[in-house]
């Protein structure tokens, strides 16, 4: 495929293809993989060309020969459970996140075959920066450096684009020329990113790039804007809602009552266990909490409506979750609510991917186009 046909990419741990949605139709997916049957089904349901390039299976079972041509970008949203601040923090040695090295073995093979992607993006939870005192992040940077990449990280919260608090780290690595206009202090060089850089050895810091990516215009969407109409959702019983309210601390109850006194108030609620006591925690800032998958003991996020008579509560729907991830209503979700939330809760915000692609990835590829070889998908 020639440069005029647009850039190509591989998408690893693709899930339902949200990175592909964010990159947009100007990009061509040459290869995608995921081992989860539910997510694989969602990918196939949404992309008519999936049969030509989607591989369902463990990344460790793949050989470089399965990857066609030379892609411009390799995207990897590797499993994040072992980096999660809520998890056991097993780091890169953990069973799930060690899948990253299955992906990286393929990248090393492509480097040896002289068809390494010009760009690599690795997306994960913010805990990646501090896992094992920064040792895991250093190991990731070392792997990139040994493969001839320069690298840097950005911390981007999806709340800048959609009404969901979802901070994530994006490690962007590039081979070849890096224009000065795409580097320098920027919106997403957070204190956490700067601290992670300073923990690296001097040798690794020499390969670091402070990527420049401007912040978006002010978000003009609130949680209320993505919700289904009241008469099209299933509300929980008054007794169930009463239990939820009783699980709130006095401070959370006061906040809810103050918001309700001003009219219709919509809150997002998570149920958690604090010191062995079940608690319901509500946020009323127009944002949902970070979407999670229903498995692993995580509670399903709830919606609370007050200020219009008795307080009502219900579960967040999978369609609403998809909207929070920047997916249009034409995105096909599994029939099951649990399966739908599994697909979107484990994904990357398509809105963030789009902003990153337009503001940094595409300019990087354009700058290197004249001096680099960009192979075609076979």
Structure tokens at 276: 């062995």
325 located within any domain:
no
Instruction: Round to whole Å and give the CA distance between 199 and 201.
Output: 7
For 282, the 3-state DSSP assignment is strand
Evaluate if residue 156 carries a pLDDT over 90.
Answer: yes
- pLDDT-derived band at 298 (thresholds 50, 70, 90) equals low
Query: 214 and 234 share a domain?
Result: no
pLDDT exceeds cutoff 90 at 180: no
CA 260 to chain centre: 33
pLDDT at 377: 38
So what's the pLDDT on residue 92? 64
Question: CA dihedral in degrees (124, 90, 138, 188; nearest 10)?
Answer: 30
Q: How many secondary structure helices (H) and strands (E) does the chain include?
A: 13, 11
Residue 101 lies in a domain: yes
Residue that is last in its domain, among 271, 299, 316: 316
State the CATH number of the domain containing residue 206. Answer: 3.40.50.150
pLDDT surpassing 70 at residue 85: no
Length of the chain: 378
Residue 29 sits at the vertex; the CA angle it makes with 207 and 107, to the nearest 5 degrees, is 35
Task: Please report whether residue 334 resides in a domain.
Answer: no
Instruction: Clarify whether residues 167 and 69 are in a common domain.
Output: yes
Write the DSSP assignment of 243-280 as a string of letters.
HHHHTS-HHHHHHHHHHHTTS-EEEEEEEEEETTEEEE
Give residue 184's region: left, alpha or beta (phi > 0; psi -120 to 50): left
Residue 76 sits in the same domain as residue 165: yes
349 domain residue, yes or no: yes
pLDDT of residue 130: 92
pLDDT band at 2 (very low <50, low <70, confident <90, very high): very low
- If asked whether residues 202 and 349 sit together in one domain, one would say yes
Choice among 71-85, 207-221, 251-265 with the minimum mean pLDDT: 71-85
Does residue 45 sit in the same domain as residue 104?
yes
Six-digit token string for 46: 């949404």
Question: What is the maximal distance between C-alpha atoms in the chain?
Answer: 67
Q: CB within 8 A of 319, min separation 6: which ones?
A: 228, 329, 333, 340
What is the pTM assigned to this prediction? 0.91
Task: Judge whether 199 lies within some domain.
Answer: yes
292 with 153, same domain: the answer is no
- Tell me the residue range of the domain where 126 lies: 3-219+343-371
As a whole-number percent, the residues of the chain with pLDDT over 70 amount to 90
Note whether 168 and 303 are same-domain residues: no
Do residues 81 and 209 share a domain? yes
pLDDT grade for 321, boundaries at 50, 70 and 90: very high
Q: What pLDDT does 358 receive?
A: 97
Domain count, the chain: 2
The answer on 159 and 291 residing in a single domain is no
Q: What is the DSSP letter of 13?
A: S
pLDDT attached to residue 98: 76
Comparing CA positions, the residue from 28, 24, 26, 22 lying closest to residue 8 is: 28
- Whether the CB-CB separation of 171 and 145 falls below 8 Å is answered with no
Residue 372: band (very low, low, confident or very high) from pLDDT cuts 50, 70, 90: very low
Q: What does the alpha-carbon distance between residue 229 and residue 29 come to, in Å, rounded to a whole number?
A: 36
Residue 250 lies inside a defined structural domain of this protein:
yes
Same domain, 196 and 82: yes
Residues 123 and 40 grouped into a single domain:
yes
Q: Which of 366, 354, 318 is nearest to 24 (CA)?
A: 354
For residue 132, the model assigns a pLDDT of: 87
Looking at the fold, whether 54 and 114 belong to one and the same domain comes out as: yes
Indicate whether 332 belongs to any domain.
no
Average pLDDT for the chain = 90
Asked, for residue 263, whether it belongs to a domain, the answer is yes
- Of 316, 333, 354, the one marking the end of a domain is 316
How do residues 99-155 score in pLDDT, each as one tens digit? 888 899 999 999 999 999 999 999 999 999 998 899 889 989 999 999 999 999 999
Please name every residue paired with 9 in a beta bridge, in sequence order, or none if there are none: 29, 73
The residues with which 150 forms a beta bridge, in sequence order, are 174
Q: Which of 43, 58, 66 is nearest to 378 (CA)?
A: 66
Comparing 74-83, 114-123, 205-214, the range with the smallest average pLDDT is 74-83
Q: Phi and psi dihedrals of 67, rounded to 5?
A: -95, 115
Give the model confidence (pLDDT) of 229-247 as tens digits.
999 999 999 999 999 999 9
Give me the mean pLDDT over the 194-203 stretch: 97
pLDDT at 334: 97
């Amino acid at each position: 495929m020639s440069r005029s046909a647009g850039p190509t990419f591989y998408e690893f741990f693709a899930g339902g293809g949200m990175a592909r949605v964010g990159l947009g139709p100007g990009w061509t997916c040459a290869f995608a993989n995921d081992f989860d049957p539910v997510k694989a089904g969602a990918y196939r349901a949404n992309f008519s060309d999936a049969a030509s390039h989607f591989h369902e299976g463990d990344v460790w079972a793949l050989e470089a020969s399965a990857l066609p041509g030379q892609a411009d970008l390799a995207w990897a949203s590797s499993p994040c459970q072992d980096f999660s601040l809520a998890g056991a923090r097993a780091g890169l040695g953990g069973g799930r996140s060690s899948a990253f090295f299955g992906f990286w073995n393929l990248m090393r093979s492509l480097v040896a075959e002289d068809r390494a992607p010009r760009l690599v993006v690795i997306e994960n939870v913010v805990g990646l920066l501090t896992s094992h005192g920064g040792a895991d992040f250093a190991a990731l940077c070392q792997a990139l450096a040994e493969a001839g990449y320069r690298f840097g990280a950005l911390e981007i919260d999806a709340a800048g684009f959609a009404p969901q608090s979802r901070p994530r780290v994006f490690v962007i690595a590039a081979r070849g020329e890096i224009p000065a206009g795409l580097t320098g202090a920027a919106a997403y060089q957070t204190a956490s990113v700067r601290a992670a850089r300073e923990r690296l050895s001097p040798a690794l810091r020499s390969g670091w790039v402070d990527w420049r990516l401007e912040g978006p215009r002010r978000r003009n969407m609130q949680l209320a804007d993505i919700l289904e109409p009241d008469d099209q959702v299933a509300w929980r019983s008054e007794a169930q809602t009463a239990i939820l309210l009783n699980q709130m601390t006095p401070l959370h109850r006061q906040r809810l009552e103050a918001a309700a006194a001003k009219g219709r108030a919509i809150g997002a609620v998570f149920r958690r266990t604090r010191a062995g006591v079940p608690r319901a925690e509500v946020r009323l800032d127009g944002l949902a909490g970070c979407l999670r998958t229903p498995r692993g003991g995580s509670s399903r996020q709830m919606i609370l409506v007050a200020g219009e008579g008795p307080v009502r509560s219900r579960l967040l729907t999978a369609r609403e979750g998809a909207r929070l991830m920047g997916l249009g209503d034409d995105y096909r979700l599994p029939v099951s609510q649990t399966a739908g939330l599994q697909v979107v809760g484990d994904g990357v915000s398509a809105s963030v991917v789009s902003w990153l692609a337009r503001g940094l990835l595409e300019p990087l590829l354009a700058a290197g186009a004249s001096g680099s070889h960009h192979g075609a998908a076979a």
